[in-house]
């Protein structure tokens, strides 16, 4: 039995040492349940009681030496495999990465940001207001009582008789004046709603930016100066502005404001329909009734307000001939900004 054990040991160690040894197969062959060493150990019952411990010890030694060899070899194999992987998976950190497409602001956001920057630069504060608004702030506080014909041009979506989707950003004027005593100098950009059918120049949802200044001795001259500066910043230093008389219930006097055509400089071209002027906003001196409605004394304070459509500025600035493009989210359109 001793010889058999020695033979198993030397054979096993030799077989394991061969370069292309299949370690797992050899482990089963020698140490497995049906392996050679196990077979020898099974036969130990036939040994005498003196021989049994001696052979038993030898068998353990043989098992231990084979196990040790197997352990060594598998460690080595693992190390080699790791080395192989490190070579084959070599990473060149200087290669350009996979490009992840990054989005960018929508043209309407771009224009809104630019408008905000211009007015922030003049010391205005940005104020938000609710899009679901009371009839009171959207109309009544702004000198547009129920049944006033001016409501027709701003027909909107009603939630209840007295709650509606705001048809203009002007209700923010009323909300601010109600809470704050002058001096007030704010802009309020945001979404507004009107029940208009969609076409190249109309949408039931669009964006406005309202401006409001209230203080002592604010005059129409201040309004003109402010809008002239705004127009130059927005459309270029050569831009001139022109006021045309108009009517808004919440301002008196009121005006529609044009800028000189920034394509032809005012000579008349296709862009300005040969007018030389392009309408961009509505403005005026805040009506005393509006001041009174908001607990501001019109004998002490005066102010101006203006409101513009952000879509209108965007289509002019980027020469977009159909407003619907701004809402369709066609990536071929949006990528151009």
Which residues contact ligand PHE (rule: CB under 6 A)? 168, 170, 210, 248, 251, 282-284, 305-307
> What minimum distance in Å lies between the beta carbon of 282 and ligand PHE?
3
In sequence order, the 6+-apart residues with CB closer than 8 A to the CB of 130 are 166
* Shortest spacing between CB 107 and ligand PHE, in angstroms: 21
Q: Which is nearer to ligand PHE, 63 or 185 (CB)?
A: 185
Q: Quick one: 30 or 134, whose CB is closer to ligand PHE? A: 134
- CA 41 to centroid of chain Cα atoms: 73
State the minimum distance, in angstroms, from the CB of residue 264 to ligand PHE.
Answer: 27
Helix (H) or strand (E) holding 280: strand 277-286
Residue of minimal CB distance from ligand PHE? 307
Query: H helices of the chain, where?
Result: 2-17, 23-31, 36-42, 51-88, 107-121, 135-138, 171-179, 220-235, 288-293, 310-318, 325-328, 331-334
Comparison of 73 and 108: residue with beta carbon closer to ligand PHE? 108
For 10-28, b/e burial (b = at least 16 CB within 10 A) is: eebbebbeeeebebeebbe
* Integer Cα distance of 137 and 173 in angstroms: 9
Rank residues 193 and 248 by Cβ distance to ligand PHE and give the closer one: 248
Residue 30 or 119: which CB sits closer to ligand PHE?
Answer: 119
Cβ of residue 309: shortest distance to ligand PHE, in angstroms?
A: 8
For the bound state, the minimum distance from the C-beta of residue 258 to ligand PHE, rounded and expressed in Å, comes to 14
DSSP code, position 29: H
């Amino acid at each position: 039995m001793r010889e058999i054990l020695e033979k198993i040991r030397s054979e096993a160690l030799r077989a394991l040492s061969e370069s292309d040894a299949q370690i797992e197969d050899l482990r089963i062959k020698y140490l497995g349940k049906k392996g050679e060493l196990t077979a020898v150990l099974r036969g130990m019952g036939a040994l005498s009681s003196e021989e049994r411990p001696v052979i038993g010890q030898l068998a353990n030694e043989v098992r231990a030496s084979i196990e040790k060899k197997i352990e060594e070899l598998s460690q080595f194999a693992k190390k080699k495999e790791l080395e192989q992987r490190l070579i084959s998976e070599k990473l060149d950190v200087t290669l350009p990465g996979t490009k992840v497409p990054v989005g960018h602001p929508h043209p309407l956001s771009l224009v809104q940001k630019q408008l905000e920057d211009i007015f922030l630069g003049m010391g205005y504060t940005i104020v938000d207001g609710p899009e679901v608004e009371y009839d009171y702030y959207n109309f009544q506080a702004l000198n547009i009582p129920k049944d006033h014909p001016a409501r027709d041009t701003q027909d909107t979506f009603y939630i209840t008789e007295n709650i509606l989707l705001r048809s203009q950003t002007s209700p923010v004027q009323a909300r601010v004046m109600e809470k704050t005593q002058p001096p007030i100098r704010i802009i309020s950009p945001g979404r507004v709603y009107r029940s208009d059918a969609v076409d190249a120049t109309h949408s039931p949802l669009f964006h406005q930016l309202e401006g409001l200044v209230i203080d002592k001795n604010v005059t129409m001259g201040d309004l003109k100066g402010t809008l002239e500066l705004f127009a130059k910043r927005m459309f270029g230093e050569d831009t001139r502005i022109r006021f045309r008389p108009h009517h808004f219930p919440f301002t008196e006097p009121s005006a529609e404001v044009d800028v000189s055509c920034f394509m032809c400089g005012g000579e008349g071209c296709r862009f300005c329909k040969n007018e030389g002027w392009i309408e961009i906003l509505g403005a005026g001196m805040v009506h005393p009734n509006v001041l009174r409605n908001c607990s501001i004394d019109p004998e002490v304070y005066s102010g101006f307000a203006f409101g513009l459509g952000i879509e209108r500025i965007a289509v002019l600035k980027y020469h977009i001939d159909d407003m619907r493009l701004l809402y369709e989210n066609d990536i071929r359109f949006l990528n151009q900004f």
